[in-house]
Amino acid sequence: MAAELQVSKSILAKLLAAENITVSHQATKTAYFDLKSRTLVCPVWKDMDGDLYDLLMGHEVGHALYTNFYDWKKAYEDKENMSVLNVVEDFRIEKKIKYKYPGLKNVFVRAYNGLFSNNFFKTDGEDLNEYNFIDRINLHHKVGASLNIQFNDKEREILKDLDTIQTFDDAVRMQRVIVEYMKDHQDDEEMDEMSLPDNIEAMTMEMSTEEL
């Protein structure tokens, strides 16, 4: 049954991407899309249901459709903050893929809430309002308003602007706004060490820079 599901979801990913992308199931901790080789890698997790498959496939197909390899390469070479940019780009491509395929909206809600309930993000017992701004954005976007994550007036302005982005250039611009805000609200040592924790990174850092 698992093998049949893998085959059917692989076909679905190719159809959604409108491209004969390579789909590979591997023992990885997360799904990712290799922009250069056009390969979607899906993890083999225990008890993966249809919603979770569709979330992972839909998200990565979003990168296949809307994240350009050379744009991403240029951002890396320009020394943009790739951790922050990746969260912003996730926001952009998920918004676009759900607009293109409206049936994915409820799937994403159910699957992300399921991951959160199963402590995928390692947030049990944590005060989410103590997380830094980009991590709060990430959880708010993926899991939703039910988390009741708090944002101050300036942060809400940034979130409102974030909701308007359309292009990759917009994503780069918003990344810079967020980084500047965080620099103003964190000390230098925190900014130097800033990177997404593994639990958050697992759903965001799909695009390796090793081959850029």
User: Does residue 25 come out as left (phi exceeding 0), alpha (psi in the -120 to 50 range) or beta?
Assistant: beta
Worst-scoring range by mean pLDDT, 50-64, 71-85, 161-175, 180-194?
Answer: 180-194
The better pLDDT of the pair 198, 45 is held by 45
φ, ψ of residue 43 to 5 degrees: the values are -70, 155
pTM exceeds 0.85 = yes
Check the CA dihedral 6-9-10-11 and report its sign: positive
64 compared with 146, residue with greater pLDDT: 64
Query: Are the CB atoms for 189 and 182 separated by under 8 Å?
Result: no
Structure tokens at 6: 């893998």
| pLDDT for position 188 | 52
- Bridge partners of residue 34, in order along the sequence: 39
Element spanning 10, H or E? helix 2-17
Residue 202: predicted pLDDT: 36
What pLDDT, on the 0 to 100 scale, is given for residue 7? 87
Residue closest to 207 by CA, chosen among 54, 39, 46, 94: 39
Q: Crossing angle of helices 82-100/104-117, nearest 10°?
A: 140
The pLDDT score that the predictor gives to residue 203 is 38
The predicted structure's pLDDT at residue 29: 86
pLDDT digits (tens, 9 = 90+) for 192-208: 545 443 333 333 434 44
Q: How confident is the model at residue 139 (pLDDT cuts 50, 70, 90)?
A: very high
pLDDT digits (tens, 9 = 90+) for 78-105: 999 999 999 999 999 999 999 999 999 9
Q: How far apart are CA 144 and CA 189, in angstroms?
A: 30
In whole angstroms, what is the distance from residue 29 CA to residue 43 CA? 6
Greater model confidence, 170 or 191: 170
pLDDT score, position 200: 37
φ and ψ at residue 174, rounded to 5 degrees: -65, -35
Q: Which two tokens stand for residue 79?
A: 């020394």
H or E element at residue 51: helix 50-66
